[in-house]
Homo-oligomer: A and B are copies of this chain.
């Protein structure tokens, strides 16, 4: 397998990423509000392909799509104490309309719990209404004071996915979390993204949650990026918003609730993790163009080569593939450059000799390998190669992730990891907040939490917490995060 240079990608990742977002046509960052960017057509097409998969998973699992207003009255927002405490520092306030102040100020939703749950209390009446499962993909707003970065840390998340469910018991809510994890796993495979799931420490739960899970991927610079969260709210919000149902025996009980959240960070992960020095490498599942055909005509043989290219394109399209023939009047090398930057997984090159010999050259974007194939078997060859690219992207990323998780015994070892190549450190922990916070401080890293499912979270027999020296209960994960 061909070796691929990923030097700028790995050594100057931050610059690589910021530059690529614009050069590859994902977003324009020049919009005159900080942290709010414009989706360009190519980037939006990739995101739509990701969302199409999410919609189909939601349908498969019986979630109904809804759309709530983006504005939430202050009075609703304030009903759950932990939630407001967690968000009030970062919401945008709508205070006036036309020339007048509003009677009740409105916030731009940072997430939709407080918009939705007063309606849940009207919609959910009886056990027959449960489980109740809805979702939406909408724009949400957070006044980020940290450094912003396209798709990753923004003030307008324009593609925010949130599902909200209500259940008749804690057990059924737990079953929902399992379903969310299964959906997430299918999505991650669809995107060729390996990931880990951690149960967040109590001090880093979602505001109002009983517990929170986070799914992380490993970015090229060794920092982690959270790309999915699942929360079990127990009855916290149900009590604040009075969401009760009538049981079979006629009693009234509060529902149990869960949420599952994702965003355009999924696209950030795809771009960052699969990319290389030449640009993006898109998994064929989400590539707007899966195959680009570049005719390489000689003088006087142009018409034949173009006709041959179009004929192959038509056949690939009939085979269900997304194909583009680049007929621009520029040098082939320039075309290669453009489509490599844009991450098209497979390039087909055809010249006069290919026309004569009924052949074509196919070039993989991931390994940059080229092979010559027979014209008559091209649909099969292309399909097989696209599958191989997808698998290779996944395996390559999984190796990268696994090689960046290090289990250590001492704080010194942990510190050495972060001084060296970063990644995720796993270390024993007694479970006390004070020790966890102290380790965060010493390591200048965030505790992602404990491995999930919980069987994997237990510390091995006899291990001690490196801070207090007491018996360790858990394995805790630390990382520098986005």
**Interface on A for B, CB 8 Å cutoff?**
28, 30-33, 36-41, 44-45, 64-73, 75-76, 88-99, 106, 108, 115, 118-119, 122, 134, 139, 143, 145, 156, 158
Shortest Cβ gap from A268 to chain B (Å): 16
Q: Once the chains are docked, how many angstroms separate the CA of A340 from the CA of B30?
A: 51
**A39-B66, A93-B96, A95-B96 in contact; A33/B139 too (CB < 8 A)?**
no
State whether A91 touches B95 (Cβ < 8 A): no
**A37-B69, A69-B38 in contact; A94/B122 too (CB < 8 A)?**
no
State whether B67 touches A118 (Cβ < 8 A): no
Protomer copies: 2
**A31-B69, A139-B70 in contact; A90/B95 too (CB < 8 A)?**
no
**A30-B119, A32-B76, A89-B99 in contact; A94/B69 too (CB < 8 A)?**
no
**A97-B93, A156-B71 in contact; A65/B36 too (CB < 8 A)?**
no
Shortest Cβ gap from A441 to chain B (Å): 25
Which among B41, B64, B66 is the interface contact of A65 at CB below 8 angstroms?
B41
State whether B106 touches A97 (Cβ < 8 A): no
State whether A38 touches B71 (Cβ < 8 A): no
17 contacts between A and B (CB under 8 A): A30-B122, A32-B73, A33-B71, A33-B72, A36-B71, A37-B69, A38-B66, A38-B69, A41-B64, A44-B66, A45-B65, A69-B158, A70-B70, A90-B98, A93-B96, A94-B95, A94-B108
State whether B70 touches A156 (Cβ < 8 A): yes
Shortest Cβ gap from A284 to chain B (Å): 21
**A30-B122, A73-B32, A122-B30 in contact; A38/B92 too (CB < 8 A)?**
no
Contacts of A28 in B (CB 8 A): 119, 122
Chain B residue at smallest Cβ distance from A145: B98
The 10 closest A-B pairs by CB, nearest first: A39-B67, A41-B64, A36-B69, A97-B143, A93-B96, A95-B95, A89-B98, A92-B97, A98-B143, A69-B156
Chain B residue at smallest Cβ distance from A30: B122
Q: Once the chains are docked, how many angstroms separate the CA of A65 from the CA of B92?
A: 27
